[in-house]
Each structure stands twice: as C-alpha cells, then as structure tokens.
Amino acid sequence: MHNGNSHTTLKIEGMDCASCVRHIENDLSKQKGVTKANVNYANETAEVHFNPAEISQEQIIQTVKKSGYKATSKDHNMAEMHHGSHQSHEDHSAHAKAETNQAVKKRLSKLIFSAIASIVILILTFFWDPPQGPVIMLILSLLVIVISGREFFEKGIPNLLRARPGMDTLIALGVGAAFIYSSYIVLFTTQTEEYFMDVAIITTFILTGRYLEALAKGKASEAIKKLLELSARVAHKLQNGKTIDVPIEDLQKGDLILVKPGEKIPVDGQITEGNAVINESMVTGESIPSSKKEGDKVIGATINGNTAFTMRVEKVGSETMLARIIKLVEEAQMSKAPVQKLVDKISAYFVWGVILVALTTLFVWHSQTGDFSRAMIYTVSVLIIACPCALGLATPVSIIVGSGRAASLGILIKNAESLERIHKVTAVCFDKTGTITTGHPEVKEFFSLKGVEKENLALALALEEKSEHPLAKSIIDFISTKKSIPTQKIQDVKAVVGKGITGKTDKTEYHFGSLKYIKELKIDLSDSLKKIENLQEKGQTVLILSDKKEIKAVFAIQDTLKESSKEAIEALKKRNIKPVLLTGDNEKVAHAIANEVGIDEIHAEISPEQKVQIIKDLQKENHVVAMIGDGINDSPALAQANIGIAMGTGTDIAMESGDVVIVKGDLKKAVEAMQLSEATLRNIKQNLFWAFFYNTISIPVAAIGLLNPMISSFAMAFSSVSVVLNALRLRRFKVK
C-alpha cells in the first residue's frame, strides 16, 4: 500500500456552489502527500490520490473539515461491494438514498416555514397594522433566520473570516444587517421603517432555489441502484444430486448451477450441459439473441430463453461483467469535471467589492455627518440592493423554464450543466440497436427458388411456429401478412442449436436455418450463393429453407432503421458535428447501417470498455462528446461522455446514466435539445448582464444616499422579477 498510489473516496456534505469545489480541491492539493484531488459537486464526492507514507486518510478528512465542510469515507462500503457482496452494496445504496431523501425533506420543511412566515409578514406590512405588528415581525424574521436561514450564517460568516466570501456571505451580511438594523429601529427608536419583509423574502427565494437543486442531486445515485437491480437474487445450485436455492453472493467459482427458462443468468460462467438462446443485448449490444451450446460462455444478468441448462460458475462478485459495468459507471461519474459557472467565477470578486463599498459607505457617511443611524441606513441599502437575488436567480430560473420547455418537446434534461453544455458538442457517438435502428428485426427480402411460393411459405411457417429462436417471430409476422397460405403439417421437429430447425412431412425432410447450417448439410448452393452473399453484404441475416437436395426459398432479415435517423445525422453534420457509430454488432451489419444514414467512422464488435476508451480518445482530441444509446451496455459510455443522451425507449439504467433522455427515442430530438441549449444559454447571459448592470448602477446610487432601504428592497425585488420574466420567454421557444 505504501507506494504513493493509494486513493480514497469521500462523501462531502455542505457544498452549495461550484466555488466550494475550488476551495476543497485547493486545500487538499496543498497538503504534502496528496497527488491529485478531484471533487464532484453533482454527486457530492471527492476522489483523493495520496501517498500513505506522507498523509493518512484521517488527515485528508480533517483537511476537508477545516475547509468548512463535512467529510466521511465511502471506501468501507465500496470494499464490501468489490469483495463479492451485492447485498452490502444494495444496503449502502438504500442507505445513501434514505440520506438524500432526508436532506431534501429537511430543505422542504425549512422552505415551507420561511414561506409561511413571509406571507404573515407581508400581511402585517401591507394589509394589517396592529400595535404589536413590528414586534411580531421581529420574532417571525428571527425564527426565519434561526430555523430556515441558519446555513447562510453558519457558512457565510466563517467563509468571510477565512477570507473566502461567497454567495452565503453576502446573503448573511444583507439579511443580517437588515435584521439587526430593523430590530434596532423597533426596539430603540420611534421610527417605523423596518425591513423584516426583506429578511423573510430573501431567505425564502434562496431556499427555493436550493430545494430544487437538492431534488435534482437526489437522482445522482439512481443509475448504480438500477444496475444492482439487474442482477439475479437467487441461484439454483446443484449439490449432491439435489437442487438448492442459494443467494448469489454465496456462489463460489466452480459451483454448478441450473438456469431455468426465462430466468436471469446469476453470474458469469460456462455451459456444461444443454443448449440455450440468450438475450445478451443489455450487455453486448448485439441485436440478435445468441445461441449457446456446451462449452460456451454466458454472462450474468442476461436473460435465458425457453430451455434450461447447467453452467459452471467462473466469475463472482466484482469480477462479473455487471460489476465491471457498475464500476465503469461509478468511475465515469467521478471523473466528470464540475462546470465552473460564470456567476461563481465572478461572485468572489463581486462579493469583496460589495463588502468594500458597504464598509466605505458606513465610514464616509459616519465621519462626514456624525449620524450613525443615517450611515447605517445607507450601508444597509447597499447590502440589500446588492444582495445577489437577481444573480442567484439568473441561471436557475432560465434552467427551470428551459428544461420545462424541453420536457414539453419530449426531451428530459437531468441537470443544469447538461442544458448549458449540449450546444457545445462537436462529436456524437451512436449505439446502433434501438438508437439508429428500432431493435425489431423484420424480413426485408424474400424469394422462392424452387417449388410453389405459397407451399414454401407454408413449410417455413410450420417450422418456425415450433421454433424458440428470436428471429422466428419476424418470419411468422412476415408470412402472416400473406393471403391464403395453406396449412402444412410437419412432424419430428428438432432445433439444431445455433444453426436452425429441421422437420419432416409425409414426403420428405426439410431444413430451415443459416447459410453455415445449409453448407454443413452439403446442399447445392451454386445457383444462389452470389445472391445470398450480396444480401449479407447489405448487413442482412439470411435464413434458408431447403429439402435434402436443394434450396427452396431465402429470407433476408434486418433490424429496421428508425425514420428519423438519417435526417437527424444530416442535421448534426450541418452543425459541423462528427457522427461516430459504436456497436457490439458485426462489421457487415454496422457498415450497412452506417452507409445508409451517412456515418463515416465505424467501430463494430466492441465491448462496453472499448466504447468508453473511444470516447476518451475523442475527448483527448478536444472533442466535446455526446453519447446516444439505449442499452445497459451503453451506460458506462453515457456516463463517460460530456453529455449522455439516453433513448426513453431503452432500458431504465441507460435512462438513469444519461444526462438527457429522449422520451420517444426520436434522434431528431437530440438536435432540438442542442437548439434549446443555445437559446437557454443566451437567456442566462442576458439575465447575468442585467443582474450585474443593475448592481453596477444601483450600488453607487445607494452608497451616495439616494436610496433608502425600502426603495432598495423594491428595486431588488424588481431586478429579480425582471430576470424571471426574461427567463419565461423560453416557454415560447420554437424548434428551427
């Protein structure tokens, strides 16, 4: 362990903006022995690489605590999971989810209390003026600060003392100054100008934004939870001639287990007895289910077809394909750099500037007039008018409206960063099955070579109705569209695993299967081999009907292209975006589909890990990469990409790993999402410009004494309203 290569994963609590990330990373990087610190704001984690000979994990945790945040180690839970216990990781996942829900509920209760108190104060300010009104407002606003707004003071004031003022600092100073001054007015003077309404409303505004953010963050760990749900819970272990059900975490390498029809395969291993047709699309991306025989490898969490088989366990726990995909998703989520928002970059300087102006105002007015009360009024005016409500709202309101408009267009956008970032994409990687294609194979071509066409169709139908092969459905669907097909009786029907099916009529024996199967039967192919090879060149799967001597008919099956795919890829090319095809399917099929839609760069027959590597290579070439996919096998790639776009017609895990979900699986929606992203970012920039412009004009006006705090509070409210009204224009966004 003492080789300088150790790393620890920490759960961080108390981060409120991207500047918190910068503070923690800077503090950790300064520590001797820390080689790299990567803090992820979105999922509240930090990955720290360190030399244990120079610094301990406990010292790293203490460094984070000194920065003003809470840190706890996640390594214990991770170690349990990677040593083979799915159960422990599920428990951890459930515990993390419960913690997140608790945090969201806590935020909501604070917000509700603050909102109710604000409504009462508004009534007392404008509609009802009892003699004890000011005292009631003082008590209510104090409760708002203590119960709902305490976090602003707990973080803002210590950060000010550390010379790191942020948004919390300005809120604490503005709200605190307004409260202290108002309390002084009510308790020690006969004046009536108090600002308790500002205290309550500012607090409520900001808590609303933070509650919405906490809700979004709660989704971060869902992807891993969905992956865990894929694994089987129980395995049928063969022991002393009996079958006993055991939890899959009790399986060991070398165990023999029975897999029944329609079940999930518990772990990775090898078939020892029996044959199977297995749907592996969720792991390999292969559109057509795989036929397996004795000696073939099978993958955990894939779905067995209609036959039982026995297998030997070869990989358990963290070694299985599913566990590796979980690890890839976790690592990709961790490695995403936090987006440094414009407002966070400027806020540090802005806050120092406001504090300086406020202190100057207090000093100058007091020294010039000797009237502390007057100097205090003008100082509070500066702090209230500069309170970053408009700045704080500028980004989130545009994001909320933009993402709402996206939802009405059938595009679900998971987080603010994604909505801001989509339009910057320069390369789009596509999965094939279920993304560019429908994922439902169909008979594309059929020709009858010998005998009567209707009789050949009847023979094919009779055989395929008894077949368990997934492609049988496409043959049956095709033949059922034909009129007046005679009924054909067939006996002794047998499946030839991985090759085809055979059966007899009164007169002769018939075979129906792959080109390889027909060649093995030594049936004459000379007349039609060229035609069959041409079909295969087009990326079609060929099934042949023959008797003992000659070919009777040929069916060519292909996964169909989605109507919108070609148009969407043309639209991306017009935006100078590079399309790339990544698929687990074979080369011929991949090239046929790519040629049809206009994709030049093709990577076929690749694993989930290879998809991630190709995306990393594109990122090294300075591409901003979007990945569009729909299967479990796409989830690591969706997480690694700068933007993961998941098809809503696909698996839950793909939808959880994606930053964006296209509800109906229409690729044109990806282009619409980019257009909406541009419109939203333009709106955010307008909001920020007006928010800064408003502060630039109003702060000096307040400082020279031309605004009292009441006018300042209205002006501040107006600036916030103007930002919201501008953001609402996004509701009228039209697709170009």
Question: For 82-126, what is each residue's pLDDT tens digit?
Answer: 444 444 444 545 555 566 677 788 889 999 999 999 999 999 988
Residue 80: inside a domain:
no
CA nearest to 395, candidates 682, 114, 670, 167:
682
Q: Looking at the structure, do residues 239 and 213 belong to the same domain, yes or no?
A: no
CB-CB neighbours of 384 under 10 Å: 29
Measured CA to CA, the distance from residue 199 to residue 208 in angstroms comes to: 15
**Residue 522: CATH number of its domain:** 3.40.1110.10
Mean pLDDT over 571-581 rounds to 94
pLDDT score, position 99: 60
Report percent pLDDT > 90 for the chain: 25
Q: Amino acid letter at 151?
A: E
Average pLDDT, the chain: 81
pLDDT score, position 289: 79
Q: pLDDT grade, residue 7 (50/70/90)?
A: confident
Angstrom distances, CA of residue 309 to CA of 258, 410, 495, 679: 6, 43, 15, 56
Q: Examine the pLDDT at 409 and tell me if it is beyond 80.
A: no
pLDDT score, position 662: 81
Helix, strand, coil share of the chain (percent; to 5): 55, 20, 25
Residue 674: inside a domain:
no
DSSP 304-351: E-SS-EEEEEEE-GGGSHHHHHHHHHHHHHHHPPPP--HHHHHHHHHH
Tokens read off for 718? 């107006």
Tokens read off for 673? 């999402």
Q: Looking at the structure, do residues 287 and 316 belong to the same domain, yes or no?
A: yes
Q: Amino acid letter at 579?
A: P
Residue 588: inside a domain:
yes
Lowest mean pLDDT among 470-474, 486-490, 681-685, 713-717: 713-717
CA nearest to 673, candidates 644, 652, 634, 635:
644
pLDDT score, position 204: 84
pLDDT score, position 426: 95
DSSP H helices, 127-218, are 133-143, 150-161, 167-188, 196-217
Is residue 198 part of the annotated active site? The answer reads no
Q: Looking at the structure, do residues 534 and 588 belong to the same domain, yes or no?
A: no
Catalytic residue, chosen from 431, 585, 630, 659, is 431
Mean pLDDT over 669-680 rounds to 90
Q: Looking at the structure, do residues 369 and 463 belong to the same domain, yes or no?
A: no
- Helix (H) or strand (E) holding 49, with range, is strand 45-50
- pLDDT tens per residue across span 515-535: 888 888 888 888 888 888 888
Measured CA to CA, the distance from residue 568 to residue 651 in angstroms comes to: 22
Residue 87: inside a domain:
no
Lowest mean pLDDT among 180-184, 339-343, 569-573: 339-343
Measured CA to CA, the distance from residue 608 to residue 328 in angstroms comes to: 9
Angstrom distances, CA of residue 324 to CA of 11, 47, 319, 646: 22, 19, 7, 20
Residue 333: inside a domain:
no
Residue 481 has phi, psi (to 5 degrees) of: -80, -15
Domain boundary among 322, 346, 369: 322
Q: Looking at the structure, do residues 363 and 432 belong to the same domain, yes or no?
A: no
Lowest mean pLDDT among 217-221, 224-228, 545-549, 692-696: 217-221
Residue 676: inside a domain:
no
3-state SS string over 484-528? CCCCCCCEEEEEECCCEEEEECCCCEEEEECHHHHHHCCCECCCC
CA nearest to 232, candidates 331, 298, 330:
298
Angstrom distances, CA of residue 37 to CA of 9, 68, 286, 339: 10, 17, 38, 16
CB-CB neighbours of 87 under 10 Å: 15
Question: Helix 587-597 crosses helix 565-574 at what angle (to 10 degrees)?
Answer: 70
Q: pLDDT grade, residue 286 (50/70/90)?
A: low
Q: Examine the pLDDT at 78 and tell me if it is beyond 50.
A: no
Domain boundary among 535, 559, 583: 559
Tokens read off for 125? 């300010």
Residue 121 has phi, psi (to 5 degrees) of: -65, -40
pLDDT score, position 128: 85
Lowest mean pLDDT among 224-233, 431-440, 699-708: 224-233
Counting the structural domains of the chain, the total is 5
Residue with tokens 């009631």: 136
pLDDT score, position 218: 52
Helix (H, G, I), strand (E, B) or coil at 583: coil
DSSP 43: T
Q: pLDDT grade, residue 17 (50/70/90)?
A: low
Mean pLDDT over 35-57 rounds to 83
Tokens read off for 480? 């059922």
**Residue 261: CATH number of its domain:** 2.70.150.10
Q: Examine the pLDDT at 377 and tell me if it is beyond 70.
A: yes
Q: How many helices (H) and strands (E) does the chain have?
A: 26, 26
Residue 629: inside a domain:
yes
CA nearest to 423, candidates 676, 666, 685, 647:
676
Q: Looking at the structure, do residues 567 and 424 belong to the same domain, yes or no?
A: yes
Higher pLDDT, 631 or 492: 492
- pLDDT tens per residue across span 694-736: 777 888 998 998 876 556 656 765 676 677 778 778 878 887 7
Mean pLDDT over 212-232 rounds to 59
Measured CA to CA, the distance from residue 506 to residue 459 in angstroms comes to: 13
Mean pLDDT over 28-45 rounds to 82
Lowest mean pLDDT among 108-117, 136-145, 407-416: 407-416
CA 708 to chain centre: 47
Report percent pLDDT > 70 for the chain: 81
Q: Examine the pLDDT at 606 and tell me if it is beyond 50.
A: yes
Q: Looking at the structure, do residues 155 and 250 belong to the same domain, yes or no?
A: no
CA nearest to 564, candidates 418, 443, 421, 430:
430
- Pairing relationship of beta strands 601-603 and 578-582 according to DSSP bridges: parallel
DSSP 711-731: HHHHHHHHHHHHHHHHHHGGG
pLDDT score, position 80: 43
Mean pLDDT over 219-244 rounds to 74
DSSP 263: P
Q: pLDDT grade, residue 346 (50/70/90)?
A: low
Domain boundary among 663, 698, 713: 663
pLDDT score, position 319: 82
**Residue 116 lies in domain:** 103-219+338-401+685-732
pLDDT score, position 338: 35
Q: pLDDT grade, residue 629 (50/70/90)?
A: confident
Lowest mean pLDDT among 305-309, 625-629, 723-727: 723-727
Q: Looking at the structure, do residues 656 and 574 belong to the same domain, yes or no?
A: yes
**Residue 419: CATH number of its domain:** 3.40.50.1000
CB neighbour burial string for 518-539, b if at least 16 within 10 angstroms, e if fewer: beebebebeebeeebeebbebb
Q: Looking at the structure, do residues 345 and 200 belong to the same domain, yes or no?
A: yes
Q: Examine the pLDDT at 569 and tell me if it is beyond 90.
A: yes
- Cβ contact 444:536 at 8 Å: no
Neighbouring residues of 10: CB distance < 8 A, sequence distance ≥ 6: 45, 46, 47, 48, 60, 61, 64, 71, 72, 73, 74
Angle formed at CA 649 by CA 610 and CA 332, multiple of 5 degrees: 35
413 burial type by CB count under 10 A (0-12 exposed, 13-18 middle, 19+ buried): buried
Q: Amino acid letter at 311?
A: M
DSSP 600: -
Neighbouring residues of 102: CB distance < 8 A, sequence distance ≥ 6: none
- Helix (H) or strand (E) holding 287, with range, is none
Q: Looking at the structure, do residues 211 and 236 belong to the same domain, yes or no?
A: no
Mean pLDDT over 163-167 rounds to 75
Residue 618: inside a domain:
yes
Q: Looking at the structure, do residues 283 and 355 belong to the same domain, yes or no?
A: no
Q: Looking at the structure, do residues 566 and 554 belong to the same domain, yes or no?
A: no
Lowest mean pLDDT among 116-130, 241-255, 668-682, 695-709: 695-709
CB-CB neighbours of 652 under 10 Å: 16
Mean pLDDT over 210-219 rounds to 60
pLDDT score, position 249: 87
